[in-house]
Chains A and B, each alone.
Chain A
Amino acid sequence: MDKRAKDLAEAVAPIPDGASVMIGGFGSSGIPFGLIDALLEQGARELTIIANNAGAGETGVAKLLRDGRVAKVVCSYPRSPGSIWFERRFEAREIELEVIPQGTLAERIRAAGAGLGGFLTPTGYGTLLAEGKETRVIDGRGYVMEGPLHADFALLRAEAGDPWGNLSYHGTARNFNPVMAMGARHSIAEVRHLSEAPLEPERVVTPGIFVQSVVEYGVRP
């Protein structure tokens, strides 16, 4: 089995206009900067971006927002220092925003990958973010019903990968990458080191079954 793509451009070629795309990372760590740049170059528009943050400065998701490629952002924490492109698009009402509590975002993505129809969480019960959602009281405690969150594609960043699509991570760069690998129908991983040889099985964090293509990108900006 060989899931290696020739380059970043080949890896992102299948992403069409209107696709939903999960993008790994938290703050500045674990972000697939190379794949995002390749997606920008590729030109897909009207994207739904599912990520924890909405980018900062002129890097990553912020570039997609800057260049008008994004129709909708689904995230937990869009506003951060330097998130100027998100704020401009939001204030001009050029993008739709769905804010989801961070743990619910991760678990909805996991549910999609794990084949679950949803779950009951106490997070958000009684708040604005639970309005219109099914609720239930179990043993005196309120829960909100949350459904799975699927995506057409996921763009991931990992430290090491092999031709089978197995991935391992570095430090806090792991974050959303493993759940997004599960939650998307087609997951593309950018890795710092892509080896010919298989990774040590004990070192694998994301099993290759969740990854459809893998490409080396050694730069860590």
Chain B
Amino acid sequence: MNRLSDSDLAARVARDIPDGSYVNLGIGKPTHVSAHVPDGREVVYHSENGILGVGPTPPAGQEDVEMIDASKRYITTAPGASFFEHADSFAMMRGGHIDIAVLGAYQVAENGDLANWATLDETFPPAVGGAMDLVVGVPRILVMMRHTGRDGEAKLLRRCTFPLTGLGVVSRVYTDLAVLDVTDAGFVLVDLTPGNSLAEVQAVTEATIHT
């Protein structure tokens, strides 16, 4: 099957982010999305550590050590940026002020449940960060993930087996193999990575993909 690179997957997500949106990008693959937003759209990026208007990475040698995003990467400010403290930052997230969040996931279920903060391995410390706050407050939760795990195990499931981050919160899932909406009927196909067939993608998906 054809698999999108992380960069191409980020570009696919970016196509769906409308002009004028306030967007929070999670740690990992989602951080690549901002580099791919089509020209002519203004998107304001929120980072939970207290900035609206995250700008591009600074040139080497011009980093300000106190200017980082949630992934701990050095950042600059975009025009119209602002700084604020943590309680205000999470008021923006829980209070429904951010339009879209793009998150990574261990598992997504057909009922929209998301698992992305803990595994079943007790020696592996859990790390929830701001994920639980985002999923309850942001109306549109986009998930960006590999369709299957390292050992080929399914990650798009009938029900999650890992501890949940939120219940029924995912709007759309972007994987290296396909894009799927989460609906009352379960996963519905939006598009396939060119060259893949629905039968091939269904074979590596535990939940049913509706068309």
User: Which A positions have Cβ atoms within 8 angstroms of B?
Assistant: 26-30, 52, 76-81, 86-87, 90-91, 97, 99-104, 106-107, 109-110, 121-129, 169-179, 205, 220-221
A122 near B136 with CB under 8 A, answer: yes
> Is B167 part of the binding interface, using a Cβ–Cβ cutoff of 8 Å?
yes
A-B contact count (CB 8 A): 141
A175 near B49 with CB under 8 A, answer: yes
Interface residues of B in 136-181 (CB under 8 A from A): 136-137, 163-167
How distant is B68 from chain A, measured CB to nearest CB, in Å?
A: 5
- Partner pick for A124 among B70, B85, B132, CB 8 A cutoff: B132
How distant is A179 from chain B, measured CB to nearest CB, in Å?
A: 5
Which residues of A have CB within 8 Å of B67? Answer: 29, 171-172
Which residues of B have CB within 8 Å of A128? Answer: 118, 163-164
B66 near A127 with CB under 8 A, answer: no
Q: How many B residues have CB within 8 A of the partner chain?
A: 42
B49 near A122 with CB under 8 A, answer: no
User: Which B positions have Cβ atoms within 8 angstroms of A?
Assistant: 47-51, 64-70, 72, 75, 83-87, 89-90, 93-94, 118, 123-133, 136-137, 163-167
B interface: dominant SS: loop
Which residues of A have CB within 8 Å of B87? Answer: 106-107, 109-110, 178-179
How distant is A100 from chain B, measured CB to nearest CB, in Å?
A: 8
Complex Cα gap A175–B51 (Å): 9
How distant is A81 from chain B, measured CB to nearest CB, in Å?
A: 8
How distant is B33 from chain A, measured CB to nearest CB, in Å?
A: 19
A123 near B125 with CB under 8 A, answer: no
Complex Cα gap A27–B74 (Å): 11
Can you give 27 contacting A-B residue pairs, CB < 8 Å?
A: A26-B50, A26-B68, A28-B65, A28-B68, A29-B68, A76-B128, A78-B127, A79-B127, A80-B127, A81-B72, A100-B128, A101-B129, A101-B132, A102-B90, A102-B133, A103-B89, A103-B132, A104-B132, A123-B94, A126-B164, A128-B164, A172-B49, A172-B75, A174-B85, A175-B86, A176-B86, A179-B85
How distant is A140 from chain B, measured CB to nearest CB, in Å?
A: 13
B93 near A103 with CB under 8 A, answer: yes
Complex Cα gap A92–B69 (Å): 31
Which residues of B have CB within 8 Å of A52? Answer: 86
Complex Cα gap A76–B133 (Å): 11
Which residues of A have CB within 8 Å of B84? Answer: 174
Which residues of A have CB within 8 Å of B124? Answer: 79
Leading 4 A-B pairs by shortest Cβ distance: A103-B90, A103-B133, A27-B72, A173-B66
B166 near A127 with CB under 8 A, answer: yes
| Given known A-B contacts A106-B90, A171-B64, A205-B85, A101 and B128 have beta carbons under 8 A apart | yes
How distant is A193 from chain B, measured CB to nearest CB, in Å?
A: 13
Which residues of B have CB within 8 Å of A220? Answer: 65-66
A122 near B66 with CB under 8 A, answer: no
Quick one: closest A residue to B166, CB to CB? A127
Which residues of B have CB within 8 Å of A179? Answer: 85-87
Complex Cα gap A80–B28 (Å): 12
How distant is B37 from chain A, measured CB to nearest CB, in Å?
A: 21
How distant is A28 from chain B, measured CB to nearest CB, in Å?
A: 6
